[in-house]
Structure 1
Amino acid sequence: MNPVIIKDQAQIIKMKQSGKLLARVFKALDDFIRPGLTTMEVNDFVEAYITQQLGAIASTKGQYGYPYAINTSINEVVCHGMPKANQKIKSTDIINVDITLKYEGYLADSSKMYVMAAAQGLAKKLVQTTYEAMWQGIKQVKPGATLGDIGHAIQSYTEERGYSIVREFCGHGIGSEMHEGPDVLHFGKPHEGLSLKPGMTFTIEPMVNQGQPKVKTLKDGWTVVTRDRKLSAQWEHTILVTNTGYEILTLREEEQLPVN
């Protein structure tokens, strides 16, 4: 079990910087990604933007021997999809782009679903429900709440709507290292598990399947797919536990709450 590292104010400032930069990457990607591009072209665009435009590090590349800057998980791919020069995005696809960025020694991790214009209604519903489930989990975050509160909120929201939660992968603590403690499960029971404290930073990143929860890893050793080959969706944000609740360090511009 990796240790849980409570961040001090200086570390939090650096993590906020990384989170804001990562939000800018997704904003740039919003205007770039489209049907007809290969997933490798998406990878190259993101890597160039992070390194050349932002002066940051595309930290997924080289992490545990992974060769690319991003994960591109299309349709039945649950997570860790590898960009390919011969894989074109289709007008009916849903695709998760998972990006990790390091700036001044600290990491931010986030993923977003992109829904192509001709995607089926059921695919769009899965993507939207997964996004809402992530928020159900995020809203539980405050000092004194538990990891079980987060997992239960996500699990109950998705299962009530006929979907299933992938259990083999979870959120994780993050800071100067990609995977710190705690493990943040997307299922669980209220009031169980680790109690949250201000200064904790971790990801919430539910993977929700249209069909059964079981998954398998392909021969490349990275790509995880649904066993029944039905669709899967995922969203992810990096979260800070504050003195009164939470702050989303990777919040994107389209998610900003309006100021009254």
Structure 2
Amino acid sequence: MSNKFGRNDLCWCGSGQKYKKCHCPIDEQIEIYRFEGYKVPHQKLLKTKKQIEGIRESGKINIALLDYIGNYVVDGVSTEELDRLIFKKTKELGGIPADLHYEGYPKSTCISINDVVCHGIPSERVFLRNGDIVNIDLSTIYKGFFSDSSRMFCIGSVSANNQKLVNIAKECVELGILQVKPWGFLGDIGQAVNDHAKKNGYSVVKEIGGHGIGLQFHEEPWVGYVAKQRTGMLLVPGLVFTIEPMINMGKANIITDPSDDWTIYTADGKPSAQWEKTVLVTESGHEVLAY
């Protein structure tokens, strides 16, 4: 991180404070870790107070959308109908669905059922049925700021095994979030997630992870969940990223549907579950901006 600011200059973050009273101590700490050979975030990845507030407002809409759609996630509804409802409600709230047309993706949401790991494309031919476990993944742009989160829903009476998978996947995210604190590492999150999944007999998808977010839909860093403690990027106040491990009941192997190049399934056909939250590293720990 190049430091071109004098101690008495106004801070680069736009706070209006002198650099020495604002980000100077953080930047100096980052340089210590850099000198020791650790991977540190570029200054452009650290969000300012104004940017954080924008992401927080976007997150409020994303949360409201997941709260809203939960009322319609029932036996017999098509995933296309859920997508239409989300699109309409997003517009009503002043947002834009970030998924829609992103790298050619055709819908406003990703709805992944049972053995679909992620990127399930809503369809008029796909209906939720009693016993299904479903992930609904929403991403919102609001006044230029991005947020991203997902939740699992259980349709009717699900099996005990599927319910446990859903519960453990949520616990994995919560344990990962507990590792988010300044001067920790992304690998701390990965190890906590992977250890808990394995302890319960599950596997963690390796190829797909979380990502930085806020000014763009996908930013650095990439967040993996089979990492080791004290590896990966240094966690610094102002860094915003998603925690979204995909937990498989069977093996971690995945396959992509060649007919659409989006839908990802478990290779062994066993169920997968995922929860996602957008998290900010603060000076004292963390803040969840979307869940």
2:226 is matched with 187
Q: CA RMSD in A?
A: 1.3
2:113 corresponds to 1:74: yes
The 3-state SS of whatever aligns with 1:249 is strand
Question: Could you report, residue by residue, the CA deviation over 1:77-104 in whole angstroms, capped at 9, with x for unpaired residues?
Answer: 0000000101110011000000000001
Cα distance, 1:187 vs. partner?
Answer: 1.4
Distance in 2, matches of 1:178 and 1:71, equals 14
Give the aligned partner of residue 115 of structure 1.
154
* Structure 1, 190-199 or 202-211: larger mean CA deviation: 190-199
Number of the residue aligned with 1:202: 241
The amino acid that maps onto 2:58 is S
| Larger RCO (alpha carbons 8 Å, 6+ apart) | 1
Aligned to 2:140: 101
Identity of aligned residues (%): 38
In the alignment, the residues of structure 2 paired with residue 59 and residue 123 of structure 1 have an alpha-carbon distance, to the nearest angstrom, of 30
Query: Contact 2:73/2:155 (CA < 8 Å) preserved in 1?
Result: no
* Structure 2, unpaired ranges of 5+: 1-40
* CA distance in 1 between partners of 2:73 and 2:88 (Å): 14
Where does structure 1 lack aligned partners over 5 or more consecutive residues? 252-260
Is 1:36 aligned to 2:76, yes or no? yes
How far did 1:4 drift?
Answer: 5.9
Q: 1:37 to 1:141 in 2, by over 3 A?
A: same
Give per-residue Cα distances to partners, 1:156-179, cap 9 Å, x unaligned: 010011000000100000011111
Aligned residue-pair number: 250
Tell me which amino acid in the other structure corresponds to 1:196.
Answer: L
Shift of 1:59: 1.2
Calculate the TM-score normalised by the size of structure 1.
0.94
> Which amino acid in 1 is paired with 2:122?
P
CA distance in structure 1 between the partners assigned to 2:43 and 2:124 by the alignment: 38
1:48 and 2:88 equivalent?
yes
Asked if 2 retains the 8 angstrom alpha-carbon contact of 1:4 and 1:182, the reply is no
The alignment partner of 2:57 has SS state of helix
Q: Highest CA radius of gyration, 1 or 2?
A: 2
Q: Which residue does 2:61 correspond to in 1?
A: 21
Deviation at 1:192, TM superposition (A): 1.1
Paired position in structure 1 for 2:269: 229
- Relative to the length of structure 2, the TM-score reads 0.84
Match of 1:254 in 2: none
